[in-house]
Amino acid sequence: MDAVIVNYRGSKRTQKGNQMVLFVPEVDSLTKAKKLVGKKVIWTSPGKLKKKIIGKVSSTHGGSGGVRAHFERGMPGQALGQKVVIE
For residue 8, give the CATH number of its domain. Answer: 2.40.10.190
Q: What is the pLDDT of residues 29-64, one digit of tens each?
A: 999 999 999 999 999 999 999 999 999 999 999 999
Tell me, what DSSP letter sits at residue 32?
H
**Vertex 83 angle, CA 34 and 27, to 5°:** 30
Segments forming the whole domain that contains residue 53: 2-86
pTM: 0.91
**Number of domains into which the chain is organized:** 1
For residue 34, the model assigns a pLDDT of 97
For residue 74, the model assigns a pLDDT of 94
**Per-residue confidence at 18, pLDDT binned at 50, 70, 90?**
very high
Residues 23 and 81 sit within 8 Å (Cβ to Cβ): no
| Per-chain mean pLDDT for the chain | 96
In terms of Cβ atoms closer than 10 Å to its own Cβ (0-12, 13-18, 19+), residue 2 is: exposed
